C-alpha cells in the first residue's frame, strides 16, 4: 500500500508525448551540444504558456540530468511580485514516490485544472504570489522523472535532491537565485524528507565552507512540513487517540474498535514494542528488517482508524471527490506535455516502483524527530502544520513536536494553541515559540492549501517574512 498516495489514482499513468526541437513550438534549451543528455545538463522549456498565464511571469520546465541515467523533472514559476528579490521555495510532495505536480495543480501552484480536464484557471492564492517556486518530482520514476532509480531511503534521497539543486544553481538560468533565502516546503512523507533534506543541505554547506567539497551554498532559512509523517512511534499511537475522538469531530470508530487498536499498539511485541526496537536498532545491519517488520505490523492501526472514510479527509467517504484529479487528464494531453518539454513516456502520479524501493529499508518506521529538532536548534524558521480533517497524517504530529528535546520544549508544552484569523474568520489554532510554530488548520484535509487556499497563502507569507503566525 502507498502510505501517502492520493486516493483513487495511486500509480495512475497517462500517455505523454515527447517534445521535438521545433521552430514553431517552444524552444528546448540544453547546456549540452545537439541536445545530447550528459551529466550536469539541464534541458528545459522557457515560458511554455501552460498553467501560469500571468503577464511577465517567467516559467521553466524540464529536466535536471543528474547523470546519464537519472533525469529529474522540475517546473519553475517566478514570483508574480518582486521576482528579483523574492525567496526561492522548493515544494516536494511525499509518497514516497508521489509527484510534486500534486502540489502544483491541487494545492498551491499558479493554476487549477477545470472539470473538462483540458483547460485551466489562474489560482489567485498561488504561492508564487510571494516566492519563486520550483516543484520537483523525486525519486526517479516519479511523475515525469525517469531513468534508473537508486534511491532506497530518505537518506539516499537527500543526496540526489541536493545534486539537483546544485545543477540548477550552477546553471546560468538559476544562478541568480542561489543567494536568495531558500525555503523547503513539503508534505506527508515530507515529515521524513523535510528534516533529513534540511540537515543534509546544512552538512553540505559546512563542507563547502571548509573546502572539503565544491558546490553552491544553499541559504536555507525555513522548513515547512504540512501533515507530515515525522515520528511513527508517536503518530501510530495518534491513530488510536484520533480514532477514539478526533477533536472537533468526535469518534471515528466504535468503542470496540478502539479497544482492538489499543491492543495492537500496547500488546506484547505490539506496535509500541516493535517501534521501540526499530529506534533502538539505529543504523545497524539488522535495523532494516526490524523496522520493516514494525512498519508492517503497525499498518493495521491506520486501516482501522480510516474504516470507510477518506483517509485524507474524515468528512468524506472512501469515494472522496475533493480535491478533484482533473489535472491527471490535463497532463495526459499531448499538447500540454509537448509544450512543457516532458519527454518521459508517461506521467505517473504515485507509481509503485519508487515506493517499493523504500520498503526493505524500513524507512517508513524510522523517526526524523531528532533531525527536525536539530534544524530548530540551528535557528531555522520551522513550521509544522496540519489540517484537522486528515486521518493518515493527522494532527497527532502535535504530540510529536511536543516530544522534541530543545530549549523551547517546556514553553511549547505550557503554551496553549490559540486561534488566528484571516479577514476575521478563524483559520487555525497556533503556537509560536522562538523560531518554531505549530498550526492546526481548521476544516482542512491532508492537502491543506486545497481546502483553505487563502489561509494557507497567508501562513506561507508569514513564513516568507520570518514572522510568528498571527492574524491578518
| Vertex 99 angle, CA 313 and 383, to 5° | 60
190 and 228 in contact (C-beta within 8 Å)? yes
> To 5 degrees, how large is the angle CA 2–CA 71–CA 292?
30
**Of residues 82, 271, 278, 114, the one with CA closest to residue 180:** 82
Which helix (H) or strand (E) covers residue 191, if one does?
Answer: helix 190-210
DSSP 32: S
- 401, 412 in Cβ contact below 8 A? yes
For residue 141, the number of C-alpha atoms closer than 13 Å in the C-beta half-sphere is 18
Query: Is 446 considered catalytic here?
Result: yes
Nearest to 312 by CA among 230, 226, 237: 226
Dihedrals φ, ψ of 324, to 5°?
A: -70, 160
The sign of the dihedral angle between the CA atoms of 234, 237, 239, 241 is: negative
- In the set 188, 198, 287, 361, the catalytic residue is 188
Provide the grid cell at 459. Answer: 501562513
- The yes-or-no answer on residue 335 being catalytic is no
Q: What angle do CA 465, 101, 366 make, to 5 degrees?
A: 75
Give dist(CA 192, CA 186) in Å, integer: 9
Q: Which of 2, 71, 192, 446 is catalytic?
A: 446
For residue 276, the SS3 value is helix
Q: DSSP letter for 103, please.
A: I
CA gap 32, 466 in Å, rounded: 39
- 310, 361, 390, 437: which is the annotated catalytic residue? 390
Cα gap 263→267, rounded to integer Å: 5
> Quick check: helix, strand or coil at residue 60?
strand
* E-only strand ranges, 118-181: 120-122, 132-136, 146-147
Residue among 387, 445, 324 at smallest CA distance from 9 = 324
Beta bridge partners of 30: 43
Please say if 390 is a catalytic residue. yes
Residues annotated as catalytic are 188, 390, 446
Amino acid at each position: 500500500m502507498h502510505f501517502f498516495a492520493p486516493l483513487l489514482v495511486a500509480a495512475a499513468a497517462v500517455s505523454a508525448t515527447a517534445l521535438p526541437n521545433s521552430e514553431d513550438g517552444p524552444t528546448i534549451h540544453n547546456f549540452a551540444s545537439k541536445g545530447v543528455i550528459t551529466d550536469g545538463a539541464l534541458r528545459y522549456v522557457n515560458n511554455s504558456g501552460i498553467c501560469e498565464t500571468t503577464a511577465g511571469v517567467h516559467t521553466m520546465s524540464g529536466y535536471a540530468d543528474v547523470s546519464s541515467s537519472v533525469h529529474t523533472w522540475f517546473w519553475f514559476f517566478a514570483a508574480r511580485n518582486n521576482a528579483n528579490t523574492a525567496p526561492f521555495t522548493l515544494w516536494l510532495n511525499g509518497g514516497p514516490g508521489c509527484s510534486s505536480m500534486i502540489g502544483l495543480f491541487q494545492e498551491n501552484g499558479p493554476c487549477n485544472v477545470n472539470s473538462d480536464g483540458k483547460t485551466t484557471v489562474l489560482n489567485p492564492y498561488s504561492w508564487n504570489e510571494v516566492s519563486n517556486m520550483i516543484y520537483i518530482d523525486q525519486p526517479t520514476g516519479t511523475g515525469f522523472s525517469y531513468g534508473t532509480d537508486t534511491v532506497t531511503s530518505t537518506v539516499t534521497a537527500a543526496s540526489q535532491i541536493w545534486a539537483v539543486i546544485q545543477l540548477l544553481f550552477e546553471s546560468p538560468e538559476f544562478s541568480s537565485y542561489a543567494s536568495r533565502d531558500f525555503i523547503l516546503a513539503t508534505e506527508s512523507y515530507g515529515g521524513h524528507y523535510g528534516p533529513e533534506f534540511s540537515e543534509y543541505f546544512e552538512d553540505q554547506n559546512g563542507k563547502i565552507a571548509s573546502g572539503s567539497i565544491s558546490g553552491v551554498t544553499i541559504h536555507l532559512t525555513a522548513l515547512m512540513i504540512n501533515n507530515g509523517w515525522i515520528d511513527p512511534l508517536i503518530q501510530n499511537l495518534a491513530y488510536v487517540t484520533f480514532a477514539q475522538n478526533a477533536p472537533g469531530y468526535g469518534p471515528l470508530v466504535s468503542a470496540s474498535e478502539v479497544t482492538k487498536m489499543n491492543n495492537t499498539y500496547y500488546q506484547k511485541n505490539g506496535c509500541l514494542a516493535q517501534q521501540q526496537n526499530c529506534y533502538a536498532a539505529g543504523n545497524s545491519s539488522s535495523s532494516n528488517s526490524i523496522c520493516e517488520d514494525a512498519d508492517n505490523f503497525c499498518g493495521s492501526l491506520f486501516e482501522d482508524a480510516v474504516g470507510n472514510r477518506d483517509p485524507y479527509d474524515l468528512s468524506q467517504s472512501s469515494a472522496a471527490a475533493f480535491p478533484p484529479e482533473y489535472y491527471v487528464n490535463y497532463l495526459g494531453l499531448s499538447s500540454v506535455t509537448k509544450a512543457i518539454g516532458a519527454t518521459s513516456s508517461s506521467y505517473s502520479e504515485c507509481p509503485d516502483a519508487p515506493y517499493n524501493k523504500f520498503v526493505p529499508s524500513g524507512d517508513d518506521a524510522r523517526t526524523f524527530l531528532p533531525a527536525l529538532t536539530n534544524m530548530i536548534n540551528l535557528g531555522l524558521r520551522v513550521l509544522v502544520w496540519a489540517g484537522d480533517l486528515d486521518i493518515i497524517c493527522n494532527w497527532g504530529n502535535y504530540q510529536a513536536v511536543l516530544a522534541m528535546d530543545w530549549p523551547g520544549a517546556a514553553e511549547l508544552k505550557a503554551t496553549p494553541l490559540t486561534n488566528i484569523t484571516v479577514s476575521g474568520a478563524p483559520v487555525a489554532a497556533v503556537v509560536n515559540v522562538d523560531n518554531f510554530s505549530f498550526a492546526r488548520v481548521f476544516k482542512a484535509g491532508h492537502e491543506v492549501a486545497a481546502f483553505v487556499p487563502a489561509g494557507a497563502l497567508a501562513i506561507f507569507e508569514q513564513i516568507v517574512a520570518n514572522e510568528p503566525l498571527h492574524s491578518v
